[in-house]
Chain A
Amino acid sequence: GAVVSQHPSWVICKSGTSVKIECRSLDFQATTMFWYRQFPKQSLMLMATSNEGSKATYEQGVEKDKFLINHASLTLSTLTVTSAHPEDSSFYICSARGQGEVGELFFGEGSRLTVL
């Protein structure tokens, strides 16, 4: 299967600072990547769809100025949590769509953000 790498896997930051999370497709090109948020013992919540070379599409209720997404190349998408607050503490997971006919999603390892 395709490999998606996510970095950092774990980050702690102070309230008010910004944190950037990177998502890379290692062995394939991904025109579309997805960012999810997951609270403990909850399922995946789609935050936004990241399209290479264009603006991201955000799901209802997700603040686009708070969660900045950039998809500058076919192998890299970044999520920046701006002016982070403790309520932003969560597990963030990116995924990329495979190039096969089915279009199944391959996920990164996730990034655990803790805002103090």
Chain B
Amino acid sequence: QKEVEQDPGPLSVPEGAIVSLNCTYSNSAFQYFMWYRQYSRKGPELLMYTYSSGNKEDGRFTAQVDKSSKYISLFIRDSQPSDSATYLCAMKKGSGNTPLVFGKGTRLSVIA
């Protein structure tokens, strides 16, 4: 079993839809959880991160962590065509220099 599992998609939704992107993980030692967005032929861009369980909201994006289920989610409200990208989850066990473990990424297409 891989440490971080993420459905690669592709996921296609109409403009304005609520998008739910998810990752599961096996190692309960993970404490920091991040979401990156990667446009085609570009480097990943950090969207947001959360520490331990709970929710964090930033504009149309909400990150949710459920440590009891080892499940994290990224919700995108009022999705736009410009949200079309690959979204990668990533997590690490501690702060500072501990390694970041990535999911494979989910390709999202928002259709106008």
Interface-side segment among B13-21, B44-52, B72-80: B44-52
**Number of residues of chain A lying within 8 A (CB) of chain B:** 23
**Number of residues of chain B lying within 8 A (CB) of chain A:** 25
B60 at the interface (CB under 8 A from A): no
CB of B45, distance to nearest CB on chain A (Å): 7
A109 touches B107 (CB 8 A): no
Bits for A82-116, please: 1 = Cβ < 8 Å to B, else 0: 00000000010101010001111111111010000
Q: Given A42-B104, A43-B88, A43-B105, verify A104-B43 contact (CB < 8 Å).
A: no
B95 touches A112 (CB 8 A): no
A107 touches B92 (CB 8 A): no
A109 touches B51 (CB 8 A): no
Q: Given A32-B97, A43-B88, A112-B41, verify A106-B105 contact (CB < 8 Å).
A: no
Bits for A4-25, please: 1 = Cβ < 8 Å to B, else 0: 1010000000000000000000
Residues in A with CB closer than 8 Å to B103 are 43
Bound Cα distance A1, B36 (Å):
13
Bound Cα distance A110, B38 (Å):
11
Q: Could you say which of B90, B96, B102 contacts A101, with CB atoms under 8 Å apart?
A: B96
- Most chain A beta-carbon neighbours within 10 Å: one of B36, B41, B98: B41
Q: Which residue of A lies closest to B48 (CB)?
A: A104
Q: Given A41-B107, A44-B102, A97-B97, verify A102-B51 contact (CB < 8 Å).
A: yes
A105 touches B100 (CB 8 A): yes
A43 touches B102 (CB 8 A): yes
Q: Which residue of A lies closest to B10 (CB)?
A: A41
- Most chain B beta-carbon neighbours within 10 Å: one of A41, A44, A97, A106: A44
Which B positions have Cβ atoms within 8 angstroms of A? 8, 32, 34, 36, 41-46, 49, 51, 88, 90, 92, 95-98, 100, 102-105, 107
Which A positions have Cβ atoms within 8 angstroms of B? 1, 4, 6, 32, 41-44, 91, 93, 95, 97, 101-110, 112
20 new A-B pairs (CB below 8 Å) besides A43-B102, A103-B92? A6-B43, A41-B107, A42-B104, A43-B105, A44-B44, A44-B102, A95-B43, A97-B97, A101-B95, A101-B96, A102-B49, A104-B32, A104-B34, A104-B100, A105-B90, A107-B44, A107-B45, A107-B46, A109-B42, A112-B41
